[in-house]
Amino acid sequence: MYGLIGSFKAAPGRRDELVALLLAGTGDMPGCRSYVVAQDPAEPDTVWITEVWDDAASHQASLQLPAVRAAIAQAKPLIASFGEHRVLEVVGGHGLCGESHEAPQGGGDSPRDSR
């Protein structure tokens, strides 16, 4: 599975608006096993997103979905800067939609930075 961990800073005072946009866009994304939006209590403008996808291709395809494209267009002006960005190979765990627990995943995808 393909994993992403990213953080970014919202424009001052726009974090909640940005978070709401990100959450509204997470409904129907084929191949998305987990998409979690979090705030950092220590850095009030910072937003973290962790994602798990079947593979890099399913993540890439999601960026073409009309709802996602619209959310990205709306979110862009609310983002002041990007922080952490990790592309990972997810091995397993708990809370991965469409998968039984702890089943290690074959994979074969090639992680790509698609920001």
12, 41, 106, 108: which one binds its own copies (CB under 8 A): 41
> Which residue, 27, 26, 90, is CA-closest to 55?
90
By CB under 8 A, is residue 33 in contact with its own copies? yes
By CB under 8 A, is residue 3 in contact with its own copies? yes
By CB under 8 A, is residue 29 in contact with its own copies? yes
Tell me the pairing of strands 32-40 and 2-10.
unpaired
Q: How far, in Å, CA of 3 to CA of 88, rounded? A: 5
- Of the candidate spans 55-63, 67-75, 79-87, the one that interacts with its own copies by CB under 8 A turns out to be 79-87
69, 73, 102, 114: which one binds its own copies (CB under 8 A): 102
Whether 85 and 6 have beta carbons less than 8 Å apart is answered as: yes
Tell me the closest approach of the beta carbon of residue 73 to its own copies, in angstroms.
20
Tell me the closest approach of the beta carbon of residue 19 to its own copies, in angstroms.
5
Contacts (Cβ under 8 Å, ≥6 apart) of 50: 3, 4, 5, 6, 34, 35, 36, 38
Which amino acid is located at 36 in the chain?
V
Can you give the binding site for its own copies, defined by CB under 8 A? 3, 5, 19, 23-24, 26-27, 29, 32-42, 48, 50, 52, 84, 86-97, 100-102, 104, 111, 113, 115
